[in-house]
Amino acid sequence: MTRRSPEEVAKLSTEAMLAEDKTVALNGIEVVEVRPGSAVAAMIVLERMANGHGICHGGFIFLLADTAFAYACNSHGRRAVAQHASVTFLAPGRLGERLTAAAVEHHRGERSGLTDVTVRNGEGEIIAEFRGHSRTIGGTPWVTP
Amino acid sequence: MTRRSPEEVAKLSTEAMLAEDKTVALNGIEVVEVRPGSAVAAMIVLERMANGHGICHGGFIFLLADTAFAYACNSHGRRAVAQHASVTFLAPGRLGERLTAAAVEHHRGERSGLTDVTVRNGEGEIIAEFRGHSRTIGGTPWVTP
Amino acid sequence: MTRRSPEEVAKLSTEAMLAEDKTVALNGIEVVEVRPGSAVAAMIVLERMANGHGICHGGFIFLLADTAFAYACNSHGRRAVAQHASVTFLAPGRLGERLTAAAVEHHRGERSGLTDVTVRNGEGEIIAEFRGHSRTIGGTPWVTP
Amino acid sequence: MTRRSPEEVAKLSTEAMLAEDKTVALNGIEVVEVRPGSAVAAMIVLERMANGHGICHGGFIFLLADTAFAYACNSHGRRAVAQHASVTFLAPGRLGERLTAAAVEHHRGERSGLTDVTVRNGEGEIIAEFRGHSRTIGGTPWVTP
């Protein structure tokens, strides 16, 4: 029996997760790329995400970052969830702009992980830094390694 | 000239902010109550907020908590934004359930504030604890005290 | 066989932990009180904890808060450690002043807990808010319930 | 009149700060290097920093990280303090071991900054990740640029 490569596990986990995950499709989020321990997601700031200043609500910046985070820490085949996350807002995201969130898992223990996500605006400027703590849970794995 | 009471300032600030804030109306969030330094918001977990397990995406729990946070720390008439926030997820929110987020501003300095938000599920159990750091910004105040 | 009360477990756990814990005795920290899920610790701001402004280094405020946190989340008999903690500094602690840190465990799951600690100065004003995430670990418990 | 280079400002700020800062000298912390927006500090885990397991108390790991943070965000000549910080503990620091903390300021706004600190043990393994939010304050600057 052939053991899958980490890249293959990431690809199959992402496909299995996308099939279940309604929040991506129904909120205009695009999962751009997933590799073992990393992921990129993107989102255009729609009218319903913006407050009266034409600035993206922090909750949607978090949603985008959290999505990249989730795909990064589920890329190893086992199911993982966020336990705790923090976000620092550095600059506004504007209406109509395409935001991208790049997640990199920095540490991975037996059951827990630490993943940083950088969110950039359409000009490539950093608008938020997110740090998430994941924990693997039971249940059917996305894919058996 | 009569000076407004804190309660009146909170009421007028909330009305001015709701008039501008598209994220509340367009995302099914209800601003239930705002008082000086506190706010309650509620949201029913819709299909587009749920992942394949029927569990509310953490990003939407954050969005709800962040909304309660924003109304609490804008209740004093001056515009305030989140600088930094953290969230701990304690239990899942389920599809169809009505979640409520209660925000209380614990500390308020000259320009910064610390606000805690507790999110509960339909049965009153705590599902998340949010802590947000606000900063007042320039621009036209919501209301002059 | 008699089952110990939570209060007795807290008392015995604290005694066992104090016997091992050199950081308390050697750093002038006093463990004032430990109850099931809560603890109070105190510390006088010594010269070696103060920077040139006569203000307590944030690291020592954290140390005091972290100590109260540790005694609160080890009060149930099982060994617990901090996984993650955050602290917000609200006002300075001054040289010679007695600071107190009061820890309350708000949530306790199967293996994890969320504990808030409030640090006050000699006049009872809040100078810092600490939030810690604990996890129980293996090893000999402090006391068998 | 010659304008000082960023490197010179960092050097002079560090010297002025070290002259005032008793916590470094009296707690066995060594400020190894400071450059514009970055700093390295080191500390040997002494008996009074260790609990009964021979493991460094998290408060001292925080103290070391916070020191590196402080020198990094005071390296621009203006006085800056921590507003908020978080730390994730990934592995234990052992008695007698030399820990190093490397701080890098990632973002710097008009008055606020975001600085990450990585703490490593004697073998170069990461034992903690710290993230600090600084704010410049008034008062005499360390050095005039």
pLDDT at D1: 54
CA dist A71 and A41 (Å) reads 9
Find the chain B residues whose C-beta atoms sit closer than 8 A to any C-beta of A: 17, 19-23, 26-27, 47-53, 57-60, 62-64, 66-67, 81-89
Query: Average pLDDT for consecutive 10-residue bins of chain A (145 residues)?
Result: 85 90 85 96 92 83 96 92 94 94 92 94 95 88 78
Tens digit of pLDDT for each residue in B4-41?
999 999 999 999 988 888 788 788 899 999 999 999 99
Inter-chain residue contact D129 with A114, CB threshold 8 Å: yes
pLDDT at D144: 76
Q: In angstroms, what separates the C-alpha of A20 from chain D's closest C-alpha?
A: 31
User: Which one of B81, B84, B134 would you mutate to disrupt binding with D, by most D Cβ within 10 Å of its Cβ?
Assistant: B84
Tens digit of pLDDT for each residue in D11-31?
999 999 888 887 888 888 999
Given A47, A51, A62, which is nearest B59 (Cβ)?
Answer: A62
Token couple for D48 = 């009074």
| Structural contact between residues D80 and D69, judged by C-beta atoms closer than 8 angstroms | no
User: What is the mean predicted confidence (pLDDT) over C120-145?
Assistant: 89
Q: How, if at all, do strands B38-44 and B80-89 pair? A: unpaired
Tens digit of pLDDT for each residue in D105-140?
999 888 889 999 999 999 999 999 999 999 988 778
Tens digit of pLDDT for each residue in C20-67?
887 888 888 999 999 999 999 999 999 889 876 678 999 999 999 999
Phi, psi of C16 (to 5 degrees): -65, -40
User: Is the per-residue pLDDT at C126 higher than 60?
Assistant: yes
Tens digit of pLDDT for each residue in C4-15?
999 999 999 999
CA dist A18 and A34 (Å) reads 11
Of the candidates C36, C2, C42, the residue with the CA atom closest to the CA atom of residue C24: C42
Tens digit of pLDDT for each residue in C67-105?
999 999 999 989 898 999 999 999 999 999 999 999 999
Contacts of B27 in chain A (CB under 8 A): 48
CA dist A143 and D49 (Å) reads 44
Given A21, A47, A81, which is nearest B22 (Cβ)?
Answer: A47
**Alpha-carbon separation of residue C73 from A81, C32, C116, D116 (angstroms):** 23, 15, 11, 28
Q: Measure the N-to-C terminal CA separation of chain B; round to a whole number of Å.
A: 11
Given A50, A52, A63, which is nearest B59 (Cβ)?
Answer: A63
All domains in chain C, ordered by first residue: 6-136 (3.10.129.10)
ipTM score: 0.91
User: What is the mean predicted confidence (pLDDT) over B101-129?
Assistant: 94
Token couple for B12 = 């007028």
Inter-chain residue contact B66 with A59, CB threshold 8 Å: yes
pLDDT at D143: 84
Size of interface A-C (CB pairs under 8 A): 9
- Minimal Cα distance from A68: which residue of B? B59
Token couple for A79 = 């199911």
Ordered DSSP codes for B11-31: HHHHHHHHHH-HHHHHTTEEE
CA dist B83 and D5 (Å) reads 31
pLDDT at C105: 95
Q: Which residues pair with residue A29 across a beta bridge? A: A43
User: Is the per-residue pLDDT at B122 higher than 70?
Assistant: yes
Taking every pair of Cα atoms in chain A, the longest distance, rounded to a whole number of angstroms, is: 58
pLDDT at A110: 80
DSSP label at residue D5: P
Tens digit of pLDDT for each residue in B73-83?
999 989 898 99
Contacts of B84 in chain D (CB under 8 A): 84, 133
pLDDT at A27: 86
User: What is the mean predicted confidence (pLDDT) over C117-134?
Assistant: 96
pLDDT at A25: 79
* Sheet of strand D38-44, all strands in order from the earlier edge strand to the far edge: C29-35, C38-44, C98-108, C112-120, C126-136, C80-89, D80-89, D126-136, D112-120, D98-108, D38-44, D29-35
Inter-chain residue contact C88 with B126, CB threshold 8 Å: no
- Minimal Cα distance from B140: which residue of A? A53
Of the candidates D22, D5, D29, D20, the residue with the CA atom closest to the CA atom of residue D79: D20
Tens digit of pLDDT for each residue in D48-92?
898 766 789 999 999 999 999 999 999 998 989 899 999 999 999
- Work out the percent of chain B whose per-residue pLDDT is above 90: 67
User: Which chains share 3+ C-beta pairs under 8 angstroms with A?
Assistant: B, C, D
Inter-chain residue contact A23 with B60, CB threshold 8 Å: yes
Q: In angstroms, what separates the C-alpha of A144 from chain C's closest C-alpha?
A: 26
- Global pTM exceeds 0.80: yes
pLDDT at D140: 82
CA dist C114 and A10 (Å) reads 32
- List own/partner pairs for B48-51 with CB under 8 A and 24 or more apart: B48/A22, B48/A23, B48/A26, B48/A27, B49/A23, B50/A22, B50/A23, B50/B95, B51/A20, B51/A21, B51/A22, B51/A23
